[in-house]
Structure 1
Amino acid sequence: MQTHANIEIVIGDDSSDDRTERLIASRYRDDPRIDYRRNLPALGQARNVASLFARASGDKILLIHDDDYLLVHCIERLLAQWERYPDLDVAFGDQYETDHHGRINHAASRRMNAAYRRTASAAGLQTPPGRAGIVQMFPNNGWLANAALVKQIGYDDHYGTCCDYVFGTRLCLAARRVCYVNEHVSCYRITDVSVSQATRCSVNASSISAWHFLKGLSLPAELEPARKLALRRLVPIVVSLLARNHEARAGLQLALGNLYAYRFGFSARFYYHLLMIWKAARLSRGESVALLGMPDEQPVDTSRTRMP
């Protein structure tokens, strides 16, 4: 239903049943735009996406995950940026946040875009381009990029559910020009069955992988402030995850080694995390501990390019 109709739709079906396969066969069998393939055995998120990139024949690529969707003008609006900036590599826009049924939550959408610095004052070319990826201004969907660059970067399966964020960061670091369009072009759906929800409280959560990736990333001096900004948001989430999974010592070392992330101790969150770490240490020794009256802190979904 895109207003720009000259598109190729490359599908990599990793599902455990044949419902998608039957849908494509019954409804879209005669649509020449569709290149469908079912993966047997399943490839997993990163390898499946990498296979899609390899199969794509267009000169630009847009990735959309199975539970999210594009607004009908998405490709047209993003593609128009290449007319404004002929040497552009990447363009992206705002996202709506929706529930399981696709109903838009406008308040949550405003908070999400503002948190990731997608605001009217930031519209246009991003300088330096890599910053858009590091601070996660670059979204998991609603982006369009030159195919040659996308294929050069590829998807790395070493980072689990964090592979979207890793890809977006590396893409923006390699791009000559990155443009942000202050207009909603896609929808990010929050569901109970997404990979991020299933792993969000475990040591496999994407926040931990994102932290390791950021810490080890080689960056020019001009991008160090962007790394610090990203870690400022990420470190408290990782500390919380470590405490929840009885890694008390690692959580304490991370918190004390990054006090700037807690406003150097002037943050109630810091003391709540210290209580969580104390509880985890006691539990690791087999002692019974009750922690009452404190809010339940949930890690923020950082997979598919979302960071706290």
Structure 2
Amino acid sequence: MTISSKVSICVPTCNRPELIVECLDSCLAQTHTNIEILIGDDSSDTRTQRLIEARYAHDARIRYVKNEPPLGQARNVASLFARASGEKISLIHDDDYFAKDGIESLLALWQSHPQLEVAFADQYEIDAQGHVDLSKSDALNANFHRIEPAQGMQQQPGRTGLVQMFPNNGWMANADLVKRIGYRDDVGMCCDYVFGSELCLAASQVYYLHRYVSYYRKTDASISRSTRGSTFAASLTAFEFVSGLSLDASLEPARKLALRRLAPIVVSLYAKNDAPWAALRVALAHLYAYGYGRDARLYYHLSLIARAFVSMRWRGLPPSAPKFP
């Protein structure tokens, strides 16, 4: 029976031994006990390795690998998927953790929907100390279209990925589908979003459960500070990915909704990185993202573009040679 299915919980980790214990203990405490916990460690030292050996050495459910050399985020996750032996796969990052019945709540959906391929639910938002903020949790889920009226089988599975309704972790899916989609290492910090989009686009049945099943830790470490605002920003990669997708006409509104969120961010990135022409082209092509002029951000971004032109001329840089591709 599906309810007894083995679930492979994949935990990529990198230099966070102070947080991974809470993550792993939440996995081991699941009310659904037929699990394996796969850990891929990209850490630059042996602190996590020593911790795992000392604390979990006698628990056969824990399957730990130290990646030497480190694989990087996408290839680390892909290696975990490849090692998974369960019928279902779930992903949880090392600074996040599951509610005690999180796995059981998701897995139970296959009882009512045997052809189900992907399931996800709500995430609590917690701070660095692990404190839950219910109002921020509600806002987090609402911002990504995870609200009570949306609960159930999704009429357009692909839409859930495109509009980022599908979360970065705390989900569950059939192992064969997960392994077929895989994690791409050519999209940088955008690999979570690209995976979620491609997974949902490939699935025929995706279910959203309006229930908290996991905890998402909002810290500086959970967001890439090294790439934000640069030519490697995840938002730019996501924009290029969504813009370049070949989609059925029925999914064009979902693409537009995704680009409504992404386009203004990309305009700002281009303007701040000596690519004013590129910024202007994106802004004019996506005026709907600015309410066709009703959004004050449009005029702020136009001012950024103008300043970029002036600055580049002052520094003797040709504005026709942007740094961005």
Show the counterpart of 2:174.
146
Show the counterpart of 1:215.
243
**1:37 aligned residue (60, 65, 73):** 65
- Which residue identity lines up with residue 23 of structure 1 in the other structure? L
Measured against aligned partners, the alpha-carbon deviations of 1:74-94 in whole angstroms (never above 9, x if no partner) come to: 101000100110100011000
**1:83 aligned residue (108, 111, 118):** 111
Show the counterpart of 2:31.
3
Aligned: 1:61 with 2:89: yes
In the aligned structure 2, how far is the partner of 1:275 from the partner of 1:104? Answer: 39
Aligned: 1:266 with 2:294: yes
**2:157 aligned residue (123, 129, 134):** 129
**1:173 aligned residue (201, 209, 212):** 201
Whose RCO is larger (CA < 8 A, sep 6+)? 1
Cα 1:120–1:195 change in 2 (3 A) is: closer
- Which residue identity lines up with residue 273 of structure 1 in the other structure? H
Matches within 5 A, 1:174-213: 174-213=202-241
In the aligned structure 2, how far is the partner of 1:77 from the partner of 1:286? Answer: 60
- Please report how far the alpha carbon of residue 195 of structure 1 lies from its aligned counterpart in structure 2 after TM superposition: 4.8
In the aligned structure 2, how far is the partner of 1:108 from the partner of 1:199? Answer: 25
Runs of 4+ in 1 over 6 A off after TM superposition: none
- Please report how far the alpha carbon of residue 108 of structure 1 lies from its aligned counterpart in structure 2 after TM superposition: 1.7
Instruction: Give structure 2 stretches of 5+ with no counterpart.
Output: 1-28, 316-325
Q: Secondary structure at the match of 1:193?
A: helix
- Please report how far the alpha carbon of residue 96 of structure 1 lies from its aligned counterpart in structure 2 after TM superposition: 1.2
Q: Secondary structure at the match of 2:221?
A: coil
Aligned: 1:160 with 2:166: no
- Please report how far the alpha carbon of residue 15 of structure 1 lies from its aligned counterpart in structure 2 after TM superposition: 0.9
Aligned: 1:109 with 2:142: no
In the aligned structure 1, how far is the partner of 2:134 from the partner of 2:225? Answer: 21
- Which residue identity lines up with residue 60 of structure 1 in the other structure? K
Show the counterpart of 1:278.
306
Measured against aligned partners, the alpha-carbon deviations of 1:170-220 in whole angstroms (never above 9, x if no partner) come to: 111111210000001111112223352332221211000000000111111
Q: Secondary structure at the match of 1:200?
A: coil
- Please report how far the alpha carbon of residue 246 of structure 1 lies from its aligned counterpart in structure 2 after TM superposition: 2.3
- Which residue identity lines up with residue 261 of structure 2 in the other structure? R
**2:260 aligned residue (220, 225, 232):** 232
In the aligned structure 1, how far is the partner of 2:307 from the partner of 2:65? Answer: 49
Q: Secondary structure at the match of 2:211?
A: strand
- Which residue identity lines up with residue 159 of structure 2 in the other structure? R
In the aligned structure 2, how far is the partner of 1:194 from the partner of 1:16? Answer: 18
In the aligned structure 2, how far is the partner of 1:195 from the partner of 1:38? Answer: 23
RMSD across aligned C-alpha pairs, in angstroms? 1.1
Show the counterpart of 1:73.
101
- Which residue identity lines up with residue 94 of structure 2 in the other structure? D
Aligned length: 287
Show the counterpart of 2:25.
none
- Please report how far the alpha carbon of residue 224 of structure 1 lies from its aligned counterpart in structure 2 after TM superposition: 0.8
Aligned 8 A contact 1:161 1:195 in 2: no
- Please report how far the alpha carbon of residue 21 of structure 1 lies from its aligned counterpart in structure 2 after TM superposition: 0.2
Q: Secondary structure at the match of 2:58?
A: coil
- Please report how far the alpha carbon of residue 107 of structure 1 lies from its aligned counterpart in structure 2 after TM superposition: 1.9
- Which residue identity lines up with residue 214 of structure 1 in the other structure? V
